[in-house]
Chain A
Amino acid sequence: MPTNQGFQDNTPAVIMSSKQSLPAPKSVDTQSVLKRLQSELMCLMMSGDPGISAFPEEENIMSWKGTILGSTETVFEGMEYKLSLSFPTDYPFKPPKVKFETACFHPNVDAFGNICLDILQDQWSSAYDVRTILLSIQSLLGEPNISSPLNTQAAALWSNQEEYRKMVLKLFKPAS
């Protein structure tokens, strides 16, 4: 319960600042987005999924930071990747923009951290949430789609898992 208490104390301040920084969207609409993000946050904190976490940034509940741990028995094992999630005002009808903040050497992640994942684009569904997005990205790490790579070098190296692991370790820079 102490985490819950902290969360309750914390979040109104988050909402407060988000109200100021939002570019004056429709109030009714924003209310439902805020409610949904709050219930997602609550759900994430209660569920305690191993290997994923997310929390709103200090300034803005429409913008979250997430972390993903590389799954065991993949070349990403033990790596911790930070991501940014930016929610549109018509969330959840539109997907959030999700990017890797930590450089990630992966066939479906480009040099800027953009992710090529269908559920973040045309296969988005409003039933998805932060938790399912992070879990999807976590499983994408271990099961890349080699046929449409953003990072062709990573796609080419994927078949050699030993070399790939070395590359991952070499390129990994913990986020500052």
Chain B
Amino acid sequence: MASGVGESITSSSTQFQSSSASSSNANNDAGSFECNICFELAQDPIVTLCGHLYCWPCLYEWLHRHSRSQECPVCKALIQKDKLVPLYGRGKTTKDPRSNPMPGFNIPNRPAGQRPETAPSRGSNHFPHHGFGSMAGSFTFSAAMSSFIPEFFSVNGFTNGARFGAATNFPFGFSNSIHGGHAHGFVHPPTHGQQADSYLKMLFLMIGVFVILTLIWA
């Protein structure tokens, strides 16, 4: 018995010294990150929608064993469990002994963060859907045409490309958009100006193709 008391004395006094050292620092540095219930640096930190920070075990215990209505201890705002936001810092996750402050009283895992969809990649952002569609449409169309009349088409495509491309300071844009359009379009997403260019080129190509077709069938 006596030794048991002695042990608890030493452990609590060392604990006190460490905690007094840390809390005097914490007053300056980490005060904003202290749990509003245990007044220590928050373990398993969780933030309510009203912005108040707690240890998850502390908040859980408050909500489930003591609070009459589910309210924030600081501002008494209603707390909805699915609106709680966990904070994931970079530091290693150490198991906190206080995570189960009441023996025999199980505290479930901290609610997970709600993760919105992954942000869309930059390339598809700059490539509006209709632009891509029309491009793909004309690509398949021209591909189909080229399967009918491969020689004429490729010659026409090349010469047109050289002509219009030079006019717009974009020498290979035209032939790219036709023959390698898919892959290049994604890697180097065109700006709005370039897109307008490619629409123009597409128009000229169509006209060219029809002219050639009428020449052939005429």
Interface residues in chain A, defined as those with a beta carbon under 8 Å from any beta carbon in chain B: 4, 8, 11-12, 15-16, 19-20, 26-29, 31-32, 34-36, 38-40, 42-43, 46, 90, 92-94, 122, 125-129
Contacts and interface: CB of A to CB of B under 8 A. Distances in A.
Interface string B35-64: 011111000000000001000001001100
A35 B22 CA distance: 12
Interface residues of B, number: 35
Contacts of A15: 9, 12-13, 16
A93 B20 contact: no
B98 A126 contact: no
Nearest to A95: B66
Interface stretch (B68-76, B119-127, B155-163): B68-76
B27 interface: yes
A126 B66 contact: yes
Q: Does more than half of chain B's interface fall in helix, strand or loop, or is it mixed?
A: helix
B216 interface: no
A7 B114 CA distance: 45
With a 10 A CB-CB cut-off, give which of A4, A90, A94 has the most chain B CB atoms.
A90
Contacts of A42: 20, 23-24, 27
B98 to A, nearest CB: 6
Contacts of B118: none
A8 B62 contact: no
A8 B19 CA distance: 11
B17 A32 contact: no
Contact of A19 (B5, B73, B101): B5
A42 B31 CA distance: 13
A12 B16 contact: yes
Given A38-B19, A42-B23, A93-B61, A32 B101 contact: yes
B66 A28 contact: no
Contacts of B134: none
A46 B27 contact: yes
Contact of B39 (A39, A93, A122, A125): A39
Contacts of A94: 66
Interface in B133-187: none
